[in-house]
Chains A and B, each alone.
Chain A
């Protein structure tokens, strides 16, 4: 069965620090999809990124970067030069196919202090 683990329950950093959110997943499928979502205090889930299992290239988008390593079943998310607006709960998720239901990790609450 699929499983997503986010070992960090809460993280606090001071503005401008870099922070990495960890995500470890389990799946028996060879084809799968990994995601990160952001949930700010308003409650809405915001899609950040999708990564396919057959594409291990890391990705950078502005201050955000993602490191996908199949060898360790990890899909970590780094925020560079964090800002107060980055404060949110971040969820890692796994899907094993087209439109198949997602399994969400427990989430990591990030607090960026001014």
Chain B
């Protein structure tokens, strides 16, 4: 499995501001995903971020609100823009290691509270 870290681990932000979340992996991975987990809910995929191509967003998520960067095979960022209290969630990145293509491994998550 891959070792994944996320920064920050948690943050409290004011409405209208933006937060960039970083995801770092200890090995090169092609496939990386960003999920949102609202309080008490399951995981919802925001977008797929493959290196060398534009992120692919799921229905209900748009690039202006959740811009994603994937500059190399070990790193990605997700920005939550113009935040509102409804954006309060845990944001998780996940990867599919090249040798275990059927399994996703998750980072520890970023707990975001918007006031």
Interface of A with B (CB < 8 Å)? 33, 35, 37, 42-45, 47, 50, 52, 91, 95, 98-99, 101-102, 104-107
Given the interface contacts A44-B108, A45-B106, A47-B105, does A99 sit within 8 Å of B31 by beta carbon?
yes
Interface of A is mostly: loop
Task: Determine if A43 and B33 form an interchain contact, defined as CB atoms under 8 angstroms apart.
Answer: no
Known pairs A44-B106, A104-B42, A106-B42. 14 more at Cβ < 8 A? A37-B106, A42-B108, A43-B109, A43-B111, A44-B108, A44-B109, A45-B92, A47-B103, A47-B106, A50-B102, A99-B31, A99-B101, A104-B43, A107-B42
A33 to chain B: closest residue by CB = B102
Task: Determine if A50 and B111 form an interchain contact, defined as CB atoms under 8 angstroms apart.
Answer: no
Task: Determine if B33 and A101 form an interchain contact, defined as CB atoms under 8 angstroms apart.
Answer: yes
Task: Give every chain A residue within 8 A of B109 (Cβ-Cβ).
Answer: 43-45
Question: What is the distance, in angstroms, from B92's C-beta to the closest C-beta of chain A?
Answer: 7
A102 to B30, CA, bound (A): 16
Task: Give every chain A residue within 8 A of B108 (Cβ-Cβ).
Answer: 42-44
Chain B residues numbered 22-66 whose CB sits less than 8 Å from any CB in chain A? 30-31, 33, 41-43, 45, 48, 58
Task: Determine if A91 and B42 form an interchain contact, defined as CB atoms under 8 angstroms apart.
Answer: yes
Task: Determine if B111 and A35 form an interchain contact, defined as CB atoms under 8 angstroms apart.
Answer: no
Task: Give every chain B residue within 8 A of A104 (Cβ-Cβ).
Answer: 42-43
A98 to B45, CA, bound (A): 16
B95 to chain A: closest residue by CB = A99
The 0/1 profile, CB within 8 Å of A marked 1, for residues 71-90 of chain B is: 00000000000000000001
Task: Give every chain B residue within 8 A of A99 (Cβ-Cβ).
Answer: 30-31, 96, 101-102
10 contacts between A and B (CB under 8 A): A35-B104, A45-B106, A45-B109, A91-B43, A98-B102, A99-B102, A101-B58, A102-B43, A102-B45, A104-B42
Task: Give every chain B residue within 8 A of A44 (Cβ-Cβ).
Answer: 106-109
Task: Determine if A43 and B102 form an interchain contact, defined as CB atoms under 8 angstroms apart.
Answer: no
Given the interface contacts A91-B43, A104-B42, does A98 sit within 8 Å of B104 by beta carbon?
no
